[in-house]
């Protein structure tokens, strides 16, 4: 497949919206460290001279989304006037340029706000590319030759684990079964797990109701939030284990609540309930800490999962090298777009670590399904021990929401990265001018934002 022709693809406009949903009102998404998130995103629309558009986003938790919005604006100067086809033909070079501006890299580098902004922009460019090819993103990725795919990745700082040539060879070795895998994905989809049964803020009655609901929907894997209170965790996990039975899989998620020592001790107490993994036991930056926890919990059959707050490919590299993660939870909107995520999948395959993407939030389920489908078709070639997280929230805001049936993500069929939002959503939930927010301010449900938050209107 040649890269798209340059004709009409000069990028003439980049728009960015601050979109927030008042999810804190229902306790949805609450965990040990995030007690009142308003699931939100910075939403980027990239438009070319001939009117083609790409839509991308990065997920946020409410306050501070305006900072990511301003950062996207500050990065416009690196993109406006460039030709999208030229960007795709040297995508790694473009990635290096936008993540390593000699002045702005001090603000990261490659982490936090600046990298979230890069993710939103890059995601919009990948969406644009897939739309130009008239394919869902996963099919675009599957159809790229190994050389073309690898040309989108900046290998700086990861060559001690995988070089460009090794990556090409790895992909070539998997080519033979690709068509068969694509067919299988198109027919059967990919297994999902649910995080819906065990949010910290949910009542016992709601937990029971949700367990039954998701069992009825065919789910085999259930995740519960832990980490605030051991007795409460034991009570809730025991309840979930009872409702789902011993033949189903339980995972637990501490959302960074513990020190290294606490994580080990706490999980020994939960071990009788047979959780498959403990997710985010401690600081997302603590590679060596995760390695120590992994080692201590191996005798109990508990793996360590992390990644949703892993800053970039260099951090993932070390988690993978060190034995600090047995389940690699890539996030589609934190590290620098599809380009950098592809490099994490390739490192994970080389080091034989299972990738189970983080999802939920806003648009994350929509995005990660494409990545995991590509992984099955072209990289790992297996679903063994692999799952995509599923949370049934905020899908109604997208043109092409993910579809989960019988606890499996069905193959996305429409062109793009499934990241385009409905115009009604933008009208209602743009912050702070959207009609829903104006209504909630008026009713006193949320305070009107102060000057600082209005800067970006």
Q: Which of residues 84-103 bind a second copy (CB under 8 A)?
A: 100-103
Question: Per CB under 8 A, which region of 54-62, 125-133, 265-273, 386-394 contacts a second copy?
Answer: 54-62
> 24 is written with which tokens?
């804190």
414 vs 454 by CB, closer to a second copy: 454
* Among the listed residues 10, 73, 164, 350, the single contact to a second copy using CB under 8 A: 73
Q: Give dist(CA 83, CA 11) in Å, integer.
A: 6
286 vs 366 by CB, closer to a second copy: 286
If binding is defined by CB under 8 A, does position 159 make contact with a second copy?
yes
User: In the bound complex, what is the minimum distance in angstroms from residue 103's beta carbon to a second copy?
Assistant: 4
- Give the C-alpha distances (Å, rounded to integers) separating 266 from 100, 193, 255, 270, 312: 41, 24, 14, 7, 28
If binding is defined by CB under 8 A, does position 44 make contact with a second copy?
no
User: In the bound complex, what is the minimum distance in angstroms from residue 84's beta carbon to a second copy?
Assistant: 21
Q: Dihedral, CA atoms, 267, 273, 276, 277, nearest 10 degrees?
A: -30
What is the DSSP-derived secondary structure letter of residue 2?
Answer: P
92 vs 410 by CB, closer to a second copy: 92
If binding is defined by CB under 8 A, does position 418 make contact with a second copy?
no
If binding is defined by CB under 8 A, does position 47 make contact with a second copy?
no
Question: Per CB under 8 A, which region of 139-147, 173-181, 352-360, 449-457 contacts a second copy?
Answer: 449-457
Q: Which of 318, 310, 306 is nearest to 341 (CA)?
A: 310
* Among the listed residues 10, 15, 27, 33, the single contact to a second copy using CB under 8 A: 33
What is the DSSP-derived secondary structure letter of residue 196?
Answer: E
187 vs 450 by CB, closer to a second copy: 450
Q: Give dist(CA 316, CA 401) in Å, integer.
A: 28
If binding is defined by CB under 8 A, does position 36 make contact with a second copy?
yes
Listing DSSP states for 213-280 in one string gives HHHHTT--EEEEE--S-HHHHHHHHHHHHHHH-TTSEEEEE-TT-S-HHHHHHHHHHHGGG-EEEEE-
Number of residues located near a second copy, criterion CB under 8 A? 71
Say whether 50 sits in a helix, a strand or coil: coil
Position of tokens 């939930």?
A: 429
* Among the listed residues 79, 87, 114, 267, the single contact to a second copy using CB under 8 A: 114
Position of tokens 């990660």?
A: 368
> 367 is written with which tokens?
């995005």
Active site residue 427: no
User: In the bound complex, what is the minimum distance in angstroms from residue 106's beta carbon to a second copy?
Assistant: 4
* Among the listed residues 11, 17, 28, 37, the single contact to a second copy using CB under 8 A: 37
Residues 247-266 within binding reach of a second copy (CB under 8 A): 256, 259-261
Catalytic residue among 28, 111, 225, 354: 225
* Among the listed residues 55, 79, 84, 111, the single contact to a second copy using CB under 8 A: 111
Residues 170-199 within binding reach of a second copy (CB under 8 A): none
Q: Give dist(CA 95, CA 89) in Å, integer.
A: 12
Catalytic residue among 135, 358, 397, 420: 358
282 vs 369 by CB, closer to a second copy: 282
If binding is defined by CB under 8 A, does position 12 make contact with a second copy?
no
> 16 is written with which tokens?
């960015």
Active site residue 439: no
Q: Give dist(CA 379, CA 175) in Å, integer.
A: 9
* Among the listed residues 9, 44, 68, 226, the single contact to a second copy using CB under 8 A: 68
- Give the C-alpha distances (Å, rounded to integers) separating 43 from 54, 128, 387: 11, 14, 27
If binding is defined by CB under 8 A, does position 123 make contact with a second copy?
no
* Among the listed residues 2, 51, 106, 352, the single contact to a second copy using CB under 8 A: 106
CB-count exposure of residue 179 (10 Å: 0-12, 13-18, 19+):
exposed
Residue 447, C-beta contacts closer than 8 angstroms, at least 6 positions apart: 441
70 vs 410 by CB, closer to a second copy: 70
Q: Give dist(CA 324, CA 238) in Å, integer.
A: 27
If binding is defined by CB under 8 A, does position 347 make contact with a second copy?
no
Residues 288-317 within binding reach of a second copy (CB under 8 A): 288-289, 292, 309, 311-312, 314-315, 317
Give catalytic residues, as residue numbers.
Answer: 225, 358
């Amino acid at each position: 497949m040649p890269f798209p022709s340059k004709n009409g693809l000069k990028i003439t406009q980049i728009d960015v919206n601050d979109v927030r949903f008042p999810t804190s009102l229902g306790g949805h998404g609450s965990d040990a460290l995030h007690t009142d998130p308003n699931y939100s995103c910075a939403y980027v629309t990239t438009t070319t001279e001939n009117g083609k558009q790409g839509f991308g986003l990065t997920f946020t938790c409410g306050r501070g989304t305006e900072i990511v919005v301003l950062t996207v604006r500050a990065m416009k100067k690196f993109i406006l006037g460039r030709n999208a086809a030229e960007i795709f033909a040297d995508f790694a070079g473009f990635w290096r340029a936008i993540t390593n501006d000699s002045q702005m890299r001090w603000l990261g580098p490659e982490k936090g706000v600046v990298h979230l902004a890069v993710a939103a922009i890059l995601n919009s460019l990948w969406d644009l590319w897939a739309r130009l090819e008239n394919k869902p993103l996963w099919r675009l990725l599957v159809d790229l030759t190994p050389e073309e795919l690898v040309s989108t990745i900046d290998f700086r700082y990861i060559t001690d684990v995988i070089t460009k040539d090794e990556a090409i060879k790895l992909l070539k070795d998997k080519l033979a079964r690709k068509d068969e895998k694509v067919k299988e994905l198109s027919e059967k989809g990919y297994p999902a797990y649910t995080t819906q049964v065990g949010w910290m803020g949910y009542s016992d009655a709601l937990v029971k109701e949700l367990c039954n609901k998701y069992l009825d929907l065919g789910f085999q894997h259930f995740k519960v939030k832990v980490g605030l209170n051991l007795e409460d965790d034991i009570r809730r996990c025991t309840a979930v284990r009872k409702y789902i039975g011993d033949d189903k899989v339980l995972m637990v998620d501490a959302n960074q609540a513990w020190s290294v020592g606490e994580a080990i001790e706490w999980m020994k107490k939960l071990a009788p309930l047979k959780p498959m993994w403990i997710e985010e036991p401690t600081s997302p930056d603590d590679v060596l800490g995760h390695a120590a926890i992994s080692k201590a919990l191996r005798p109990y059959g508990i793996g360590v999962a992390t990644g949703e707050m892993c800053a970039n490919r260099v951090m993932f590299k070390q988690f993978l090298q060190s034995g600090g993660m047995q389940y690699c939870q890539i996030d589609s909107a934190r590290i620098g777009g599809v380009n950098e995520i592809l490099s994490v999948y390739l490192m994970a395959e080389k080091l034989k670590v299972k990738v189970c993407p983080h999802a939920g939030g806003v648009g994350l389920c929509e995005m990660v399904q494409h990545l995991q489908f590509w992984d099955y078709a072209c990289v790992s070639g297996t679903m063994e021990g692999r799952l995509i997280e599923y949370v049934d929230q905020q899908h109604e805001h997208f043109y092409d929401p993910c579809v989960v049936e019988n606890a499996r993500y069905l193959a996305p069929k429409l062109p793009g990265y499934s990241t385009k939002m409905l115009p009604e959503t933008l009208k209602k939930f743009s912050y702070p001018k959207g009609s829903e927010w104006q209504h909630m301010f008026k009713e006193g449900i949320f305070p009107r934002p102060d000057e600082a938050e209005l800067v970006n209107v």
